[in-house]
Amino acid sequence: MAAGTAEQNRSSRKAARARSSAKNSYYELNNALMDEAGTAQKTSQDTMEKPAFDEGVAEQYQKLLEGFTGNNRSVLPTTSSADGVPAIVQSENELRMAQAAATKLDLDKGLADLNSVSNYLTTKVNPQLNNSRATTGMTGGFMKGNAGVLGTELEAANALANNQLAQLMIAGGQTAMGYGLMAPTGGGTPIGPYMGPPKGMGAGSGTKFVF
């Protein structure tokens, strides 16, 4: 029975180690997945914080303004005064053209400012939100699968503790001990194997012996 108990203890310790290893692997993977999801979400949050938001909008404004002032729509036609045109007319023409250019620049700035926020949301914030949402969903799926794997590994670890040989050894030892400790019936005192009645006393003499 002692040998069976020792064998069962070894199996129980092996099962405990397997359970501990499975749980450690589960926590390690889950922590990594949570960190990945947290990083994606933090990046999305950062894009909407005021410093980053203002910087991103300003960057979009500059890009838009450069596009508006550099395309064909913002290039004003040039005119030249014919020979002999009075200087005052030529000066007035140049003044008007400068005013038109300034007006066009103001319009370009207003248009760039108007579209800078929506451009930042479209080109930076929304893609990052989509990325963090996809990452969170993916890591959530992995975490769910990881929980299923943990359950399977814990069942396998528990099975290691079920040592049938050890249990048979223990049961056999208990049975043997039970026979060894079993008290005789009838209230008499055992004095050894029964050898029959003493000489001169037959089976029908009326004398009874308890063995």
In the chain, % of residues over pLDDT 70: 64
In the chain, % of residues over pLDDT 90: 14
Which pLDDT tens digit goes with each residue over 62-111? 999 988 887 645 455 555 555 566 777 778 778 888 888 888 888 888 89
- What is the pTM (predicted TM-score) of this model? 0.53
Which pLDDT tens digit goes with each residue over 128-179? 999 998 988 999 898 888 888 888 888 887 776 665 555 555 555 554 445 5
Asked if residues 29 and 132 have their Cβ atoms less than 8 Å apart, the reply is no
